[in-house]
Each structure stands twice: as C-alpha cells, then as structure tokens.
Amino acid sequence: MYFLLDTCQHPTVLRTIYFAIIIRDIIFTVIPIGIIVMMFIDFSKAVIAGKEDEQQKAVKLIPKRIMYAVITFSIPWIINILMKTLESVKIKVAMDYNTCITNAENAEGNFDFYDNLLEAEEKAEQMINDENKGNDYSTDDLTLDSIIANNIYQSDSKWGSYPLCTNKTRVGKTGDNRTISLAGCGYCSLTMILRTYEGNNITPDSVVEQVCSIGYGKSGHAAPADFAAIAKKHGLKSKVYYVGINPKDDFVKTFEPLLKEGKRLIVNMPDHYISVLGIRKDGYLYVGDSSLSRDYSKKGPYSLGGLYDTITKKGPLLNVTAIWKE
C-alpha cells in the first residue's frame, strides 16, 4: 500500500482536521462574545448591589478575562510558529502537520478528490490480493496500478512552492518566480516514471534539486535534456524523438512497440507534459498527469491513437522522451 500510508491525504483524517478547524473557529467567535457578556453581568451585579468594593472587583476581573482570552487565542499561533520553524529545518513531524492542515483547509469541505484516490488505492490493493489468490494479473500492471492511484499533482502543498532552477531565490534578481506548481509538469512526469522503478520515495522537489545541482533546468521549465541527464543519474536509458511522431499513424507505430517493451514516455504536448507509464494487455494506457485542470490520468481510458487525438487538439506534439531500464 502506498497511498494509505500517506496520512495527510487520507480523507478520514482530513475530514477530522477540517471538523476540528470549524470547532476552533466557533470557539474563537464565542469567546469574545462570552467575555463581553460575563463582564456585563459582573458589572451589572456590582451596580445593582450598590457597593463600591463589588464594583472595583468587577472592574479588576475585566483585564483577567481579557488575559485568559489572549492566552487562548495565542495557543494556535504559538503552535503554528513552532511548526513552521521545525518545518524549515526539515523535521518530518512538523512537515506532516503543516501539510495536513493545508490540505484540510484547501479542500474547503469537499473531499471527493481524496475519496477517489483512496478508492483507487483500495482497488489496487484488491488486485494484489486477487493476484495472491491466483488471478491472472501481470506484476507490471499491479505495480503501475499502485503508482497511478498516487498520481502526482504539481500543485500539491508538499512541493508546489518549491523553486525551479531559474527562480530568483536561486539566481538572484535575474531570476523568475517559477515553482513546481507554476511550471513543474515536466518534472512531475519524470518523477512518476522514476517511481515506477524506485518507488514512491522519489518526489518532484528532489528531482528538481537534482536537475539544478548538475547545472540543468535553464529553460525555466523541464526540457528533454533534463530528462536525459536525470535518467542517466538513476541508471536509466533515454532517447528523445523529435520526428516521426506526427501524424497519428506514425505516433502509434513508433511508440506502441516501445511501451510493450516496458519503456516509459514523457510526452511534450503544447504547453504541457504528461507521462505514459505503460500499456495494458487490452491496449489501454497508464497515463500520469500533474495538472488538476486537465488531468488525463483520470480521463479515458486511452489507446495510443485516442490519446494522440485528445492531446493534439491544441496543436502538434513537440517531442517525446522514452526512458527505460536495461
């Protein structure tokens, strides 16, 4: 199981956190009102009693009640500052805490996306259980099902804000504001391919860091040269195809045999990269897509020809990078 181990993407956990956030907000609304009411009651009693010492006691209670309220309001703020500090030094508990809070808040009560991921992972687990019972599923298909159940999105809070190689935080005033969320689809596609060989410990931010550390990533977004360099770094082979991918028949004839050989593809369509992680026995593809708005991983299923028809509606393919392990 991959996804079910990721607590901060589990819908039950996120619903619990979201409910706790709502309760917190209600408490923070009720406390000021309660303080005002209690102060009014205390002061009213003192005035009605007509005793000066009782009035002085009521007045003295006001700053105490305010202090209690300030302490109550400060606790979440102190925790948040502490966790942000620990996250900056890569303490895992703090990173998980902030990720869980962010995911719960961003969901805004709609957890369908995480429910669908959980359902996909449960189906993958069932397939593995069926395989153990002797059903006819290929090992490659099962592995890819688990990967697809964890389709990587570039806007994920765990890495979305991570700077690309041309970001001004890396190169100074001459840089730009590009992050994985804004322009990291190619690196997410590469990450998904690397995960099929090395497991889910590979993340887009670690891939970007590898690209930058060896002097690549100069385009402000991913490029075939980046894919080739990182593939080599991970002991994989690669080849870039610039011709022969148009028209449709050439595309199918070129890449169907490669997929049947176990090669993975990064397809550069207009303004976007997607990955093709494998092909099923029935000819349909395992597609990875980091864009929440397009998300070809959740559409289809696509044959190679069907995928070509879909992704070339906005223009011709630019290039395809094949990556494989010998």
Question: Residue ranges per domain, the chain?
Answer: 3-107, 138-324
pLDDT at 302 over 80: yes
pLDDT at 139 over 50: no
Q: What is the mean predicted confidence (pLDDT) over 159-176?
A: 92
Instruction: Give residue 167's pLDDT.
Output: 94
pTM over 0.75? The answer is no
Q: Which residues pair with 274 in a beta bridge?
A: 267
| 276 closest CA partner among 157, 105, 147 | 147
Q: What is the pLDDT of residues 232-282, one digit of tens each?
A: 999 999 999 986 777 899 999 999 999 999 999 999 988 899 999 988 888
| 273 closest CA partner among 201, 211, 197, 180 | 180
Q: What is the pLDDT of residues 201-219, one digit of tens each?
A: 899 999 999 999 999 999 8
Q: What is the mean predicted confidence (pLDDT) over 20-33?
A: 81
- For 272, the enclosing helix (H) or strand (E) is strand 272-279
Q: What is the mean predicted confidence (pLDDT) over 115-131?
A: 56
pLDDT classification of 59: cutoffs 50, 70, 90: low
Instruction: For residue 318, count CB atoms less than 10 angstroms from its CB and return exposed for 0-12, middle for 13-18, buried for 19 or more.
Output: middle
Q: What is the mean predicted confidence (pLDDT) over 53-75?
A: 72
Instruction: Give residue 123's pLDDT.
Output: 58
Contact 34, 42 (CB under 8 A): no
pLDDT at 284 over 60: yes
Q: What is the pLDDT of residues 1-16, one digit of tens each?
A: 233 335 666 778 778 8
pLDDT at 121 over 90: no
The torsion region of residue 90 among left (phi > 0), alpha (psi -120 to 50) and beta comes to: left
Arch. (CATH architecture) of 138-324: Alpha-Beta Complex (3.90)
pLDDT at 162 over 50: yes
Per the prediction, the chain carries an average pLDDT of: 80
